[in-house]
Amino acid sequence: MKGIVLLQMGGGPLGVNIYDIAREAHVGIGTVSRVFNNRRNVSASTREKVLEVGRRLNYQPHASAQRLARQRSNTISAIIPFFTNYFFVEVLQGVQDRVEQLGYDLILYGITRKGQTETYLRRTMQRGRVDGVLFFSMKFPEQFISRFQQLRLPIVLVDTSLPEFDSIAVENRRGAYIATAHLLALGHRRIGMINASLTSEPARLRLEGYRQALDDYGVQYDRNLVRFPKNLKSDGFNREAGHDAMEELLAMGGDRPSAAFAASDIQAFGALQALREHSLHAPKDIALVGFDDIEFAQHVGLSTIHQPMYEIGTLAVDVLAARVENPDVVPRHTTFIPELVVRETCGAGTMSPASRASRSMPV
């Protein structure tokens, strides 16, 4: 009776309901319910007869009734580490725009303290609460893998990955490699890195890319040139951490680096502020490259690694919606290759073409 009651909520402009359809088609109301909910246990001829009557009477099932009959909430949740992080702000713009286009509602869960990740995952697992989950930039708890699989609850991992689930990621290691190699190609050999906490997977991968570029150019890794945050707000991806890290690099005096790679643009902004406070500038005194290419980066002339944040958000929703409709397809793993955006702070624009060419090969 559940499906029948739900479908009574629908009807055409003249109040046509499933009782009218059943009477005209000479079938039971249960058959009408199965037809309009796309159930399989109806013969092709009966289905066509019911649909023909529905078209003739201009019957339109109520959208919310159909969702309930199919056990859909038309709601998805997003579990995200930091609402105020500029990277996530731009990703969420893409998420919100696509959610609105597809007619979903969105529940946002922001992680602010230890233990909340598991709490929010349990909340999303409550039957009928959401149709799917977006999970951002954190290690997915191992104990939830089998539980999500058993529930067949669709989930898309963003900026992190597991073979069991759909995932969307940026080649963080590759992006850091590109940034560091660019500075090396410009002739720098003492290159600092302003990193975030290594509890963050992007921070770990970006450190690996930085080290690989040094190794490929024959430059020995110096741990004193890599600075980690004392301020762990947003895992250290914040302006204050970037400022403090640049202060530490400047305090090295004659051993300070001639260039630095910041693991995020927001850290790079803090580093630029520290330079200004010492009457120093990028690239004249220290060349600088960031990571993300958030909107404000172009306004300060920051050279950076571009990742398509808005597109990541829209694609995450598309992949999740596809998984909701087709829960049995093989997990899809999408990887974006970040690109270098050259602006003023790296100094490439101040070099002659001949000088750039002479510095372009590893030594």
Q: Residue 358: what pLDDT?
A: 31
pLDDT of residue 38: 65
For residue 64, the domain's CATH number is 1.10.260.40
User: How much is the pLDDT for 68?
Assistant: 46
| pLDDT of res. 39 | 63
218: Cα separation from own chain's centroid: 34
Same domain? 161 vs 241: no
Q: pLDDT value at position 351?
A: 45
In angstroms, what CA-CA distances link 202 with 172, 191, 192, 195?
A: 6, 19, 18, 10
**Do residues 214 and 253 both lie within one domain?**
yes
Q: Say how far apart CA 59 and CA 241 lie, in whole Å.
A: 61
Does one domain contain both 16 and 156? no
Q: Is 169 helix (H, G, I), strand (E, B) or coil?
A: strand
Regarding whether 347 and 296 lie in a shared domain, the answer is yes
What confidence score (pLDDT) does residue 236 get? 84
Assigned domain for 363 exists: no
Total of domains in the chain? 3
Quote the domain boundaries for residue 31: 2-69
Q: Is 23 domain-assigned?
A: yes
Give yes or no: residues 241 and 345 share one domain. yes
What's residue 47's pLDDT?
85
Read off the pLDDT of residues 124-164 as tens digits, 9 standing for 90 and up.
Answer: 988 778 999 999 988 899 999 999 999 899 999 998 899 99
CATH number of the domain that 190 lies in? 3.40.50.2300
Q: Are residues 265 and 295 in the same domain?
A: yes
159 and 111 together in one domain:
yes
User: Which residues neighbour 321 within 8 Å (Cβ) at sequence distance 6 or greater?
Assistant: 102, 104, 132
Residues of the chain with pLDDT under 50: 1-14, 64, 66-69, 350-363
**Residue where a domain stops, chosen among 22, 53, 69:** 69
Cβ atoms of 156 and 319 closer than 8 Å: yes
Q: Domain for residue 109, yes or no?
A: yes
Q: In this structure, which amino acid lies at residue 83?
A: F
Separate counts of helices (H) and strands (E) for the chain = 14, 12
Strands lying side by side in the sheet with 191-194 = 226-227, 191-194, 259-262, 287-289
Say whether both 263 and 348 belong to one domain.
Answer: yes
Clarify whether residues 224 and 346 are in a common domain.
Answer: yes
Q: What pLDDT was estimated at residue 165?
A: 96
Determine the pLDDT at residue 84: 63
User: Residues 182, 94: one domain?
Assistant: no
